[in-house]
C-alpha cells in the first residue's frame, strides 16, 4: 500500500534527429529512470518526443499542464544554435519565471565543462505546474537534478530537485516524497507533512 500522493509528470525530449528516427532518443529513458528512482510517489509519466520547433514545444507544454501534470521536465534544445528554441517556447507560455533553477544548473555543469555558460535552461510556473528545461545529455540530466557528490557520497553541491517538491507545494500541487539516497528534498519544518499512520 502506497500512502504517497500520486503525481503526473510530463517528460519531453526535444530533438529534430531523435523525433525523426535518425537516432535513438536517450532523453526520455534518462528522465523516467531518474525520476522513478528519486520519487516515492506513484508516478504517471506523460512522454513526448518532438522536434526543435517553438510552436510545437509550447503546445506540448500547455497540453501537459492542461492534462494535470504537476511537473514537466524537458531535455534538449537549450544551447545557442539556431534550432535551440526550448527556453523561448517555455517562457512564451509561462505565468512566472523561476530563474534560480537555471542559475543552479549552470553552476553545477560549470564544475565539469566550461561550455556550461552556453546553456540557457529556464524554469517557469504555469498554473499549478512547474516546468523545467534540463540539459540534453543523460549524464548532465542526472548531475543537475541530483547534484555533485564526493567519493564518499557526500553532497558537495545540491541539485535542483532538492527544491522541486517545496516549489510544487507552494503552487498547489501534490506532496512529493523523495528517496533520500537519491535526492533529499528540502522543506521548511512547518511545511513537512508527517507520514500517514
- Radius of gyration for the alpha carbons in the chain, expressed in angstroms and rounded: 16
Give the pLDDT score at 128.
97
pTM of the model: 0.95
Residue 5 CB partners (closer than 8 Å, separation 6+): 41, 174, 175, 176
- Structure confidence by residue, pLDDT tens digits, 91-105: 999 999 999 999 999
Architecture of domain 7-191: 3-Layer(aba) Sandwich (3.40)
pLDDT at position 14 over 70: yes
Q: How many CB atoms lie under 10 A from the CB of residue 114?
A: 8
- Structure confidence by residue, pLDDT tens digits, 125-180: 999 999 999 999 999 999 999 999 889 888 889 999 999 999 999 999 999 999 99
- Structure confidence by residue, pLDDT tens digits, 59-74: 999 999 999 999 999 9
pLDDT at position 9 over 90: yes
Q: Under a CB-based contact definition with an 8 Å cutoff, are residues 164 and 158 in contact? A: no
**pLDDT confidence tier of residue 1, bands split at 50, 70 and 90:** very low
Q: Pick from 97, 43, 50, 95: which is nearest to 75 by CA?
A: 50
β-pairing, 123-126 with 96-97? antiparallel
Q: Under a CB-based contact definition with an 8 Å cutoff, are residues 124 and 95 in contact? A: yes
Q: Under a CB-based contact definition with an 8 Å cutoff, are residues 43 and 81 in contact? A: no
**pLDDT confidence tier of residue 2, bands split at 50, 70 and 90:** low
Cα(178)–Cα(156) distance, rounded to whole angstroms?
19
pLDDT at position 182 over 90: yes
Sketch the domain layout of the chain as residue ranges. Answer: 7-191
Amino acid at each position: 500500500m502506497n500512502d504517497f500522493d500520486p503525481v503526473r509528470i510530463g517528460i519531453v525530449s526535444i530533438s529534430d534527429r531523435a523525433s525523426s528516427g535518425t537516432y535513438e532518443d536517450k532523453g526520455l529513458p534518462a528522465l523516467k529512470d531518474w525520476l522513478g528512482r528519486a520519487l516515492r510517489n506513484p508516478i504517471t509519466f506523460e512522454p513526448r518526443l518532438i522536434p526543435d520547433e517553438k510552436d510545437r514545444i509550447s503546445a506540448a507544454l500547455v497540453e501537459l499542464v492542461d492534462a494535470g501534470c504537476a511537473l514537466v521536465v524537458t531535455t534538449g534544445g537549450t544551447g545557442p544554435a539556431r534550432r535551440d528554441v526550448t527556453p523561448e517556447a517555455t517562457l512564451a507560455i509561462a505565468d512566472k519565471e523561476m530563474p534560480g533553477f537555471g542559475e543552479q544548473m549552470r553552476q553545477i555543469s560549470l564544475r565539469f565543462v566550461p561550455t556550461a555558460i552556453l546553456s540557457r535552461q529556464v524554469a517557469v510556473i504555469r498554473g499549478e505546474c512547474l516546468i523545467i528545461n534540463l540539459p540534453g545529455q543523460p549524464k548532465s540530466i542526472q548531475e543537475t537534478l541530483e547534484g555533485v557528490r564526493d567519493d564518499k557520497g557526500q553532497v558537495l553541491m545540491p541539485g535542483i530537485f532538492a527544491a522541486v517538491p517545496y516549489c510544487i507545494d507552494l503552487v498547489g500541487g501534490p506532496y512529493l516524497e523523495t528517496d533520500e539516497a537519491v535526492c533529499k528534498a528540502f522543506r521548511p519544518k512547518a511545511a513537512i507533512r508527517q507520514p500517514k499512520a
